[in-house]
Amino acid sequence: MSAATNQAHAGEEGTRRDFIYIAAGAAAAVGAAATIWPFIDQMNPAADTLALSTTEVDLSAVVVGQQIKVMWQGKPVFVRHRTAAEIAAAQRDDYANLKDPQHDAERLLQENGQPGKAEWLILQASCTHLGCVPTFVTGSSYGGWFCPCHGSDYDTSGRIRRGPAPRNLDVAPYVFVTDTSIRIG
């Protein structure tokens, strides 16, 4: 047999072997996918878990100057019914020297882009420094929330005014479902 014929046979052998390897690899991949699928399927949220991804809040029992804390997706959220003085202070300071500049009206925007209501402020209750829960302290320097962990001070719009927190308290995504109820998430 000539060298050329030997090379041709060797080439065919190689091609057949490659095909067998590829076919075996493909079968293994299908097998692995079939094995993994039930696990992936299990990881999809069940209907009852999806339901918990939103939280409905009845505002009718929250009086002016009161704040309630509700849980949304396992995290605390402040729902604050602001007084006229708190609203006035928040709007007045729209033009103050802010670390994280944002107008009060922007912080009230609903998730659907509609304006919010000045008396209702919906904030994630987590200090943007290291995640402690701030406390609303009437008469504090900026009239809003104070974080006891390292002394961050937020105003009545939840904007950071002093201390190590790098940005304003995050606004929770919400919409008004009726005049007196909101859905968070």
Which region among 35-43, 65-73, 102-110, 124-132 touches ligand FES (by CB under 6 A)? 124-132
Residue 55, helix vs strand vs coil: strand
Sorted by sequence, the CB contacts under 8 Å of residue 53 that are 6+ apart come out as 45, 73, 185
Site for ligand FES in 126-145 (CB under 6 A): 127, 129-132
Q: Quick check: 76 binds ligand FES (CB under 6 A)?
A: no
Q: Quick check: 16 binds ligand FES (CB under 6 A)?
A: no
Task: Give the nearest distance from C-beta 103 to ligand FES in angstroms.
Answer: 24
Interface pick for ligand FES out of 62, 88, 118, 149 (rule CB under 6 A): 149
Q: Quick check: 164 binds ligand FES (CB under 6 A)?
A: yes
Q: How many amino acids of this chain bind ligand FES (CB under 6 A)? A: 13
Task: Give the nearest distance from C-beta 165 to ligand FES in angstroms.
Answer: 5
Closer CB to ligand FES, 25 or 166, in the complex: 166
Closer CB to ligand FES, 16 or 150, in the complex: 150
Site for ligand FES in 27-56 (CB under 6 A): none
Tokens of 102: 């944002």
User: Using CB atoms within 10 A of its CB, is residue 67 exposed (0-12), middle (13-18) or buried (19+)?
Assistant: middle
Q: 24-54 b/e with 16+ CB inside 10 Å = b?
A: eeeeeeeeeeeeeeeeeeeeeeeeeeeeeee
Q: Quick check: 99 binds ligand FES (CB under 6 A)?
A: no
Q: Which long-range contacts (CB under 8 A, 24 or more apart) does 58-65 make?
A: 58/180, 58/181, 59/120, 59/180, 59/181, 59/182, 60/180, 60/181, 64/119
Binding site for ligand FES (CB under 6 A): 127, 129-132, 147, 149-152, 163-165
